[in-house]
Structure 1
């Protein structure tokens, strides 16, 4: 089994998670920051992690509207998928419906009594963990 990367792409951050080698547990790696709407730096960072860890699969959150429509943010994720596939030959990028993942991550952090200030720093990474863990649990 190979490690899998999970991503939660925002306009200035990319939450990154990775599975264990057994593909059972997702853990947070980092929240990568970049200039507003300049996600090419995130492509480079994810490429580095994928190559270092021999990753062949990436789960990327697709932020659909609650009614299932594809909006501007979802289109940005679709475009990011294409950039990742071009930058990392042989990698499969799977779009995962991420509706409510940030809310689930936020609730988990509140339950764990993490302060608002600390939550802000880790919420994207935790959302990436939620996206990836959902994928792992379903496969």
Structure 2
């Protein structure tokens, strides 16, 4: 796996034309589960995916699940939620780092590009929406993980698409001048 900065990842995928046929997979990493989302074919909208059980002894199985998703959905790159907190290292950040390290060590995701995207308040926002539905706790947790992954991926898609539009507008105005 290869980390890239958020904007650099998108620019490289555009230049290589990987986004013409590829999509993004969003991940919300928790200590027990990983919520998964996927972008639409145009990389504009994040859609719900699944929730994967996360256990250290099952990392090979999880890596195989990601291989299948990458193949089946034509995934160009992963967008991994990361709790950026400049003041201190959080337990959530440790969980994300451990998962990425374990996936890299599995050797099953060679060449897969990924970036981190700030997951600040995604889980809390979804939690506030879901708690009013009064769902069974297990169902509520599954929805929370899926929709947190959607929030992470949608934030990234909004950022890169807005930057792409601005870049195109600048090129248009430079061509007119």
User: TM-score of the superposition, structure 2-length normalised?
Assistant: 0.66
CA distance in structure 2 between the partners assigned to 1:10 and 1:38 by the alignment: 16
1:43-76 Cα distance to aligned partner (Å, 9 max, x none): 32222201222212101111344x5433333133
Structure 1 residues not aligned, in runs of 5+: none
Matching of residue 33 in structure 1 with residue 53 in structure 2: yes
1:38-77 equivalence runs, <5 A: 38=57, 40=59, 41-65=61-85, 68-77=87-96
User: TM-score of the superposition, structure 1-length normalised?
Assistant: 0.82
1:76-97 Cα distance to aligned partner (Å, 9 max, x none): 3123234445422322111112
Give the alignment partner of residue 15 of structure 1, picking from 35, 42, 46: 35
Question: Which structure has the highest helix share of the two?
Answer: 2
Following TM superposition, by how much is the alpha carbon of 1:23 offset from its aligned partner in structure 2, in angstroms?
Answer: 0.3
Question: Who is 1:126 aligned against?
Answer: 147
Task: Say what the alpha-carbon RMSD is for the aligned residues.
Answer: 2.1
Does structure 2 conserve the Cα–Cα contact (< 8 Å) formed by 1:17 and 1:129? yes
Structure 2 residues not aligned, in runs of 5+: 1-18, 161-177
Secondary structure of 2:88's counterpart equals coil
Question: Who is 1:105 aligned against?
Answer: 126
CA distance in structure 2 between the partners assigned to 1:137 and 1:26 by the alignment: 10
> Across the two proteins, how many residue pairs are aligned to each other?
135
CA distance in structure 2 between the partners assigned to 1:9 and 1:25 by the alignment: 20
Q: Which has the larger radius of gyration?
A: 2
CA distance in structure 1 between the partners assigned to 2:142 and 2:99 by the alignment: 23
